[in-house]
Amino acid sequence: MITGTVTPAREAILRLRIHGAGGQVQATEAAVETGFNGCLSLPPDLIALLGLQWTHREYATPADGRTILTNMYKCAVEWDGQEFTIPVDEADTGPVVGMSLMYGYKLTLPIRSGAKFNLRRLGKAKLDAHQLL
């Protein structure tokens, strides 16, 4: 089970441990975003700090409906007690966890400041890192 907290600004925040290219581990907070179908987005400064490996560019459609070209990277992230290599979108926002990383989990989210929320694995479903890259 994965747990997080709802902030006074009404953001659902998870703590993640992200592994950089040099083996360093960076703990960071990421907002849960059900409107983002990717795995994880990180800001350029955190991507540079971690020395993440660039993989390609792809088109994305943010909430405002524009189509943009974004840089894609890969990193290892600790998720539900396991380490997975996942794709990372570069975005000029704070870290965001998307639906692809949460796929196969049930999100129980009380909308109240300070409330704890959780993600529970559905049955035997688990993150399949091979399908993500």
Tens-place pLDDT, residues 48-105: 999 999 999 999 877 778 888 999 999 999 999 999 999 999 999 999 999 999 999 9
- Residue 69's pLDDT is 92
Mean per-residue pLDDT over the chain, rounded: 91
The CATH number assigned to the domain holding 120 equals: 2.40.70.10
Neighbouring-strand partners of residue 33: none
Domain of 7, in residue numbers: 2-126
Domain contains 11: yes
pTM reported for the whole predicted model: 0.89
Domain membership flag for residue 132: no
- Give the residue from 87, 131, 99 showing the smallest Cα distance to 31: 99
Q: Is residue 17 part of a domain?
A: yes
In a domain, 133, yes or no: no
